[in-house]
Amino acid sequence: MPITTGAPPTRTTPAAVASGFLTGGVIGASLAALVVGGIVGNAPLFVTGLALPAVYGLLFHLAGAPRRAREAALAPRTALAMIESREAVGGEATSDVAVRFELTVAPDDVPAYRVAFTQNINLVELPDYRPRGVVVVQYPPDRPWRVRIVKRPTPKWEERAAGARVDSAPGPAMVGETPESSAVGVVTLLALLLAAAGVVLLFRADLFDQDTSAHPPSATGPSPSVSSSTSSSSTTVVSSASATVALGPDQTFLDKGELRRAVGSLAKGTNTRAALTVVVQERLLSVVYASTDAQAPTFDPDLLPYDRFPALVKEARSSPGVGSPQTWQITVERLTGSLTVRVGVTGTEGAASLEADARGEVVRRTPAH
């Protein structure tokens, strides 16, 4: 069989890239499925995360079986070789050292060729492999660059090697298969990230919009569910007992429509629950809900006169004797029977407050004192 003296194939073939892409995708998707399935409690998704790599590994193994069978069916060739050079390249901490050999391999039936490869050699046996020494090597007939030094040759080959002389072959040395190029690595990583992102995107609704309607408290044991979400402008935390919305630094609940929007986002999550108290500050809205069995008077936080709130705050701030106003707070409750909106402001010189009714009409003023 003629020896192909060309360079051995590198591994940046379309097939290698495709296989890297698939492998990365499977790893990313199964990891994401495990994590997402665990977080949202989706058992089929979790099982998919376990089964996918197993099935893929099985298919990968089966796909490579014909090639492996073909390679295994070929008996390795044995030949004499002469050591051109050797160099230890690592592994000094153990008894084996990795040695980079360059050999001239002299098969009986084809021209001699040079080859470079790395093989682990025991420190004690290293003196057996001196430059210019003749050794016995084996290689697969279809891959002459995959050479291995036979440390224990059969008596026949041992005798041949003892009396043999091998001349150096000219030309550059064949090197073994190059390790996977970085392109395959990049594609693998890319596929991994894409697949993971795809799974997260597919299940983003379950991941980010978990609310009490999706997970009603079980009848046997009430367990408060808490969800939180953060957007660029505000942070919302909703539990079964209360909800808060915190605004970002450059916003205020006195901005037009901000309050209604915030309450609207809560109402979506709370299914128009009965509120005990609503408290509004510059950048913080909190709603305390009544428990289902409570007898306290409640109100629907959706129906408050939010459009009137900025005007009420402005009016309270302009109360005589407050000085330059600094902080304000609106508290809404109906403990006394009718809905009361109480607006308090604190200024440099004193504090003032006013009360309004359900329509936002001022019913009482308490000037600064």
Closest to another protein by CB, 141 or 172: 141
Round to whole Å and give the CA distance between 135 and 364. 107
Round to whole Å and give the CA distance between 98 and 114. 19
Closest to another protein by CB, 15 or 72: 72
Closest to another protein by CB, 135 or 196: 135
94 part of the interface to another protein, by CB under 8 A: yes
**43 three-state secondary structure:** helix
156 part of the interface to another protein, by CB under 8 A: yes
In angstroms, give the least distance from the CB of 101 to another protein.
Answer: 16
95 part of the interface to another protein, by CB under 8 A: yes
176 part of the interface to another protein, by CB under 8 A: no
Round to whole Å and give the CA distance between 45 and 280. 41
CA nearest neighbour of 24 among 218, 196, 256? 196
162 part of the interface to another protein, by CB under 8 A: no
Angle of helix 43-73 versus helix 14-40 axis, rounded to 10: 150
In angstroms, give the least distance from the CB of 127 to another protein.
Answer: 11
Closest to another protein by CB, 45 or 259: 45
In angstroms, give the least distance from the CB of 122 to another protein.
Answer: 5
15 part of the interface to another protein, by CB under 8 A: no
150 part of the interface to another protein, by CB under 8 A: yes
75 part of the interface to another protein, by CB under 8 A: yes
55 part of the interface to another protein, by CB under 8 A: no
67 part of the interface to another protein, by CB under 8 A: no
Local structure of residue 283 (DSSP, 8 states): S
Round to whole Å and give the CA distance between 89 and 74. 31
155 part of the interface to another protein, by CB under 8 A: yes
Closest to another protein by CB, 135 or 259: 135
Beta bridge partners of 366: 353
Task: Report the Cα–Cα distance between both ends of the chain, in Å, rounded.
Answer: 109
What six digits make up the tokens of 60?
């990968």
Q: Rule CB under 8 A: choose which of 1, 7, 18, 47 binds another protein.
A: 47
In angstroms, give the least distance from the CB of 88 to another protein.
Answer: 15
Round to whole Å and give the CA distance between 144 and 139. 6
73 part of the interface to another protein, by CB under 8 A: yes
Round to whole Å and give the CA distance between 292 and 311. 34
Q: Rule CB under 8 A: choose which of 125, 159, 209, 361 binds another protein.
A: 125
What six digits make up the tokens of 48?
């998919």
Cβ neighbours of 319 (radius 10 Å) = 20
Closest to another protein by CB, 15 or 69: 69
State the binding string over 324-363 for another protein (x if CB under 8 A, else -): ----------------------------------------
Local structure of residue 333 (DSSP, 8 states): E
Beta bridge partners of 235: 230, 246
66 part of the interface to another protein, by CB under 8 A: no
What six digits make up the tokens of 285?
């809205």
71 part of the interface to another protein, by CB under 8 A: no
* Candidate segments 3-11, 70-78, 258-266, 342-350, binder of another protein by CB under 8 A: 70-78
**Which helix (H) or strand (E) element contains residue 70?**
helix 43-73
CA nearest neighbour of 115 among 72, 175, 30, 202? 175
* Candidate segments 3-11, 41-49, 184-192, 333-341, binder of another protein by CB under 8 A: 41-49
152 part of the interface to another protein, by CB under 8 A: yes
CA nearest neighbour of 80 among 108, 120, 118, 119? 108
44 part of the interface to another protein, by CB under 8 A: yes
Q: Are strands 113-122 and 174-175 parallel, antiparallel or unpaired?
A: parallel
> Where along the sequence are the contacts to another protein (CB under 8 A)?
43-44, 47, 72-73, 75-76, 93-96, 122-125, 148, 150-156
